[in-house]
Amino acid sequence: MTHPQIDAQLVEDMILQLGAIGRHSDTGVWRTAFSPEWVAANETVAKWGRDAGLDVNYDTGGNLWCVSQGREAGPSIVTGSHIDSQCPGGRYDGALGIIAGMVAVSALYAQFGPPRRTLEVVSLCEEEGSRFPTAGFWGSRALVGRAGPEDCNVVHDADGVSIGAAMVEAGFDPKRIGETVRDDIAAFIELHIEQGPVLEDAGLPAAIVDAITHIRQTEVTLYGTSNHAGAFPMDIRNDPMAGFAEIASGVIGHAEALGRPAVTTIGHCVPEPGGRAIIPRAVTFTIDARHPDPDAAKTMYDAHQTLIQEVATRRGLTFETSVLLDHPACQSDPHLLTALDTAAAKMEVPVMHMASGAGHDAQQMAQICPVAMIFVRSFEGRSHTPEEFSELSDCVAGIKVLAAALYDLAY
């Protein structure tokens, strides 16, 4: 094999070109699903595909596909990521995975001709849920059959616009979203920025992702008795805020004791009534807890529930819990991990294995095909912010690994 040649200047030009669409806060982007900026960004990717000699089409869910048709019949090898952003976000989150796929597949086609097995680059729709909060992973969920016409009328943005109406505005027919489902994908490899500091700490440009974490977000409400903050003695209070403080410290301390990669975050807390001199009647808060190992995740969640029950009982409180989000852990496919490790060695890119602490489209795609991911180092671990940045050399290193793996899998 002649190693695929990756044009660093082309990568930089594409990052800047795509980053200019929906530009916000100088280095950031604001590009929500089905918005004019989103449409323009996808059309830019479509032009790149046509210019490279690839077949270009949209599916009925809003995903864009650029296809290098294989010489042999059979399921496709797919790479890509999402093109929507946070509000505002950075120019690398999601977008770099699409750029990486376009550069890799176009370079392979130019250097080696049509692949043996079909290669496809996909620009996925509404991964972030930044416009439609309950529609996260919309494009990849549609591909695996988890988004249907009935969802199009019940998912809304902050202005009350349904995702179905937004699809119509962008030229899609929500009644046909069921046609998005694919059963002919042999593998999905997603390149993404790390969004954390692990690679920077390790001094490495890229990583092979061997698992995507289990994410569970739970809303808890503790109920007690509201009273005067000064006149009511501590030893006879039923104070839900005191219970919250103990639980918050306990669940965070549990993750700290478990060590990496366990993480737990209390991101939201609302006391009611919320007066400065009032013992609250109730406290509602969220627990975001993550671990990529299924058994360890279950142990962590069980420990949280046990702690909540014990604290509430001891303090004379009642409670309610509700799971708001529950994405099970996703293990990368061993065959794809081997392909990526081999590719990194061939391209002389130093890598490590690590788990992803964030959710990704690959987690959804795992329901219909083997998946794996490549991470590219993030400056200071920053992401979901206009300050998000990855060095060009690191981006190119990750793309080299992707291109070499795609060559082995498809050529």
CATH number of the domain enclosing 162: 3.40.630.10
Residue 219 belongs to a domain: yes
Residue 147 belongs to a domain: yes
Domain termination site, one of 303, 327, 351: 327
- 344/405 same-domain check: yes
Take residue 150 and report the two structure tokens written for it.
């009935």
Rounded CA-CA distance 48/210 in Å is 31
Rounded CA-CA distance 249/287 in Å is 11
Q: What is the mean pLDDT of residues 264-283?
A: 97
- Structural domain including 239 reads 214-327
pLDDT at residue 34 greater than cutoff 80: yes
Rounded CA-CA distance 39/62 in Å is 10
Identify the burial level of 313 via C-beta atoms within 10 angstroms of its C-beta, where 0-12 means exposed, 13-18 middle and 19 or more buried.
exposed
Domain termination site, one of 292, 327, 362: 327
Cα 149 to Cα 12, 61, 314, 367, 385, distances in angstroms: 39, 10, 48, 20, 33
Residue 224 belongs to a domain: yes
Write down the pLDDT at residue 294: 95
**Is the C-alpha dihedral spanning 109, 114, 117, 120 positive or negative?**
positive
- 170/193 same-domain check: yes
pLDDT tens per residue, range 88-131: 999 999 999 999 999 999 999 999 999 999 999 999 999 999 99
- 202/218 same-domain check: no
Q: Which residues pair with 77 in a beta bridge?
A: 119, 187
pLDDT tens per residue, range 169-202: 999 999 999 999 999 999 999 999 999 999 999 9
- 344/320 same-domain check: no
Write down the pLDDT at residue 302: 97
Q: Residue 141: how many CB atoms within 10 A of its CB?
A: 25
Domain termination site, one of 327, 354, 387: 327
Take residue 90 and report the two structure tokens written for it.
């950075």
Residue 2 belongs to a domain: no
Of the candidates 323, 261, 320, the one whose C-alpha atom is nearest the C-alpha of residue 288 is: 323
pLDDT tens per residue, range 372-385: 999 999 999 999 99
Write down the pLDDT at residue 163: 97
- 276/350 same-domain check: no
Q: What is the mean pLDDT of residues 245-267?
A: 97
Write down the pLDDT at residue 1: 58
Residue 186 belongs to a domain: yes
Helix (H, G, I), strand (E, B) or coil at 155: coil
- 267/370 same-domain check: no
Write down the pLDDT at residue 3: 81
Residue 15 belongs to a domain: yes
- 28/146 same-domain check: yes
Residue 1 belongs to a domain: no
pLDDT at residue 148 greater than cutoff 80: yes
Q: What is the model's pTM?
A: 0.92
Cα 63 to Cα 58, 74, 109, 192, distances in angstroms: 6, 21, 22, 18
Between helices 8-19 and 95-112, what is the axis angle to 10°? 140
- 26/164 same-domain check: yes
- 189/55 same-domain check: yes
End-to-end CA separation in angstroms for the chain: 10
φ, ψ of residue 400 to 5 degrees: the values are: -60, -45
Instruction: Please tell me the total count of domains within the chain.
Output: 2
Rounded CA-CA distance 382/389 in Å is 7
Instruction: CATH number of the domain at 244, please.
Output: 3.30.70.360
Between helices 392-410 and 8-19, what is the axis angle to 10°? 110
Residue 285 belongs to a domain: yes
Write down the pLDDT at residue 136: 84
Write down the pLDDT at residue 53: 96
pLDDT at residue 241 greater than cutoff 70: yes
Between helices 95-112 and 392-410, what is the axis angle to 10°? 50
pLDDT at residue 146 greater than cutoff 90: yes
Q: 90-126 as b/e, with b when 16 or more CB fall inside 10 Å?
A: bbbbbbbbbbbbbbbbbbbbeeeebbebbbbbbbbbb
- 165/281 same-domain check: no
Take residue 189 and report the two structure tokens written for it.
């490899």
Rounded CA-CA distance 19/21 in Å is 5
- 50/138 same-domain check: yes
Rounded CA-CA distance 353/92 in Å is 21
Q: What is the mean pLDDT of residues 16-37?
A: 96
Write down the pLDDT at residue 295: 95
- 309/333 same-domain check: no
